[in-house]
Structure 1
Amino acid sequence: MTNPIEALLAEKGVLLADGATGTNLFAMGLESGDAPELWNETAPEKIAALHQGFVDAGADIILTNSFGGTRHRLKLHHAQDRVHELNRLAAEIAVAVADKAGRKVVVAGSVGPTGELLQPLGALTYEEAVEAFVEQIEGLKAGGAQVAWIETMSAVDEIRAAAEAAIRVGLPYTYTGSFDTAGRTMMGLAPKDIHGVTDGLAEAPVGVGANCGVGASDILASLLDMSAARPDATIIVKGNCGIPEFRGTEIHYSGTPELMADYVRLAVDGGARIVGGCCGTSFEHLAAMRKALDAHTRAERPSVEEVVARIGPLRNKQAAQSGAAEGEGRRERRRARA
């Protein structure tokens, strides 16, 4: 498989991924509960504007508007029979923007979780999950996506299923977990264990890491665990823009461009090779991150205490403070409430 990310890393050292999709689409008029993927057909100019804003801000990697592009997520909008088409359109829109950037911009096909629990916790079999991801990734590849960008994952089996699907389709892949539950994913995966999730598959990942979660400080703490476990790994961090806060019925994120610029510096010092923003990260934030990245010379590896002093307090326990037993109990409580 050709690996455009590795080639660009060799050239630039550290890459800047884009910012938020959902937050920015809501600002463009997307209604809560609507499927962003349907805009690939009905409002392609808005999706193109999203990508263009991030390219103009300096992104080296842009993610397609396809996070919920499996049949399982699209069935909530009666679009389960349009998986290939909507994912192909998502990639085509992003490729058209990248192609006119005047520099190398990698188009990564966003692949989010199915929203289903795999057996034995749920009804979805591993092979059914692989088939659903194959269907999505085939559409992304047909539209020109160069990488399968598996993100915001919680379960080891679902990451493996998505990775196996990417391999079957013939795309290199990355994957990131969301460490939002006492420093672990909701299904109990610790940051230090992210590296071995796809061991034994026919192809290794291009990069692994973390995205989303609860805030910039927490994702940097996760990064320190990941880079300590595998200092040589290509690690991705794509953190939320500060902390989400409800103001009335709307969610606002506390992060300023200055905070996100310092997050980039700490991420690079902590061992990240690909840095971006997740929820709440605007074009303005990403432009500040680009400027910080370009001006930064890698410094001493920070401690969690330094991260907290510069970015703000952790909102969660760290993974070392929470155990698998605690995670199992939390999952059972969530299932009981469902």
Structure 2
Amino acid sequence: MSKLESLLSRRGALLADGAFGTNLFDMGLVSGDAPELWNTDEPEKIKALHRSFVQAGADIILTNTFGCNRHRLKLHAAEERVNELNSLGVQLAREVCEETDREILIAGSIGPTGELFQPLGALSYQEGVEAFREQIEGLRDGGADILWAETMSAVEEMKAVAEAASEFDLPLVITASFDTAGKTMMGLAPANLGELQNQFACTPAAIGSNCGVGASDLLAAILEITDAYPDAIVVAKANCGIPQIQGDEVVYTGTPELMAKYAHMAMDVGARIIGGCCGTSPSHLAAMRRALDDHKPGPRPTLETMISEIGPLVSPPNKKADAARAESEAAGVGRRRGRRRS
């Protein structure tokens, strides 16, 4: 049994941490700079953010390594520092965890490569696997407890990270961002994420959703996943309310009270690992901690209940487009069958 499975079996549900990028901007990170370089340039600030989430009650903290693969780092002339920056990202988190007697798991954050896979782009599948393998080696060397692939969109990329992870004795979590009319940018529906598990080189310990748009949209995705796969360990890591552009800034509207409601609903809809993404501060996370600790199971919420309690969907499903796509695919099947018969 992995550390993740063991902690889940003892606690029932776990609280993951809050936002990294948006909080680092408040700490002085400049747009366009690589947050991962702060692992060496501003290590005390990285530790301070980890510490604030631990003090808020997080059971899982993600490392400052989201864009720490060779393809993203080459934009900052740091592609030769993959192992160093990933390993150090874990070590900084470990130093904070050792300040407390409470058991806290360190999840090595793995984001997308930033490249399009063939045939849409230039990156081959094997190049993707190698980039993820290189990053995972650094996370392993630093002492990560979990591999945490997040904000994924393309099926090929998820398969590539799973193949790379299959070479390491660490549990893998995969979360996707369903931010485009209820699907990922590359067209994957929430329920289909569960179907992919049988196609991965290793079976994820948990699946789910993070980031995206509003908290209601994320809960709608979790509702679909848990409907289709009620026995799966599901992760819900929503943005803090709804993002709004105010001048040159993106501001997230969620209050601690709203994020507490979201945490209650996420548990009732079947999520067992709950956290916050963009805009989620330590004060939001502390409210979510109290919500998890005080939670009394309620009825499984409907989409209408979620919208009523949390707010409207920012990117509702495009049912007309889905119907048209299904009709087109059905017609294509008919035409192909006709050709086979002739």
TM value normalised by structure 2? 0.93
Identity of matched residues, %: 58
User: Does 2:85 match 1:86?
Assistant: yes
Residues 198 and 52 (structure 1), Cα distance of their counterparts in 2 relative to 1, 3 Å cut: same
Residues 262 and 227 (structure 1), Cα distance of their counterparts in 2 relative to 1, 3 Å cut: same
Is the Cα contact below 8 Å between 1:190 and 1:319 reproduced in 2? no
Deviations 1:171-204 (A, max 9, x none): 2100000000000000000001111223244431
SS in 2 for 1:18: coil
For the residues of structure 2 that align with 1:175 and 1:231, how far apart are their CA atoms?
17
5+ residue gaps, structure 1: 328-338
Is the Cα contact below 8 Å between 2:162 and 2:201 reproduced in 1? no
Residues 325 and 207 (structure 1), Cα distance of their counterparts in 2 relative to 1, 3 Å cut: farther
Task: Please say which of residues 142-151 and 310-319 is displaced more in the overlay.
Answer: 310-319
For the residues of structure 2 that align with 1:43 and 1:197, how far apart are their CA atoms?
38
SS in 2 for 1:272: coil
Alignment match, 1:140 = 139
Alignment match, 2:294 = 295
User: Does 2:15 match 1:22?
Assistant: no
For the residues of structure 1 that align with 2:316 and 2:242, how far apart are their CA atoms?
15
Alignment match, 2:203 = 204
Larger Rg: 2
- Residues 52-91 of structure 1 mapped to structure 2, 5 A cutoff: 52-91=51-90
Residue type at the aligned position of 2:17: D
For the residues of structure 2 that align with 1:177 and 1:167, how far apart are their CA atoms?
19
SS in 1 for 2:230: coil
Alignment match, 1:334 = none
Alignment match, 2:233 = 234
SS in 2 for 1:242: coil
Aligned-pair CA distance for 1:246: 1.4
Alignment match, 2:268 = 269
Give me the CA root mean square deviation.
1.6
Residues 111 and 99 (structure 1), Cα distance of their counterparts in 2 relative to 1, 3 Å cut: same
Aligned-pair CA distance for 1:325: 6.6
User: Does 2:284 match 1:285?
Assistant: yes
For the residues of structure 1 that align with 2:199 and 2:5, how far apart are their CA atoms?
21
- Residues 1-338 of structure 1 mapped to structure 2, 5 A cutoff: 3-318=2-317, 322-323=321-322
Is the Cα contact below 8 Å between 2:159 and 2:199 reproduced in 1? no
5+ residue gaps, structure 2: 327-342
Residue type at the aligned position of 1:229: A
Aligned-pair CA distance for 1:37: 0.3
Residue type at the aligned position of 2:212: G
Alignment match, 1:335 = none
Residue type at the aligned position of 1:259: L
Is the Cα contact below 8 Å between 1:241 and 1:253 reproduced in 2? yes
Residues 200 and 183 (structure 1), Cα distance of their counterparts in 2 relative to 1, 3 Å cut: closer
Alignment match, 1:331 = none
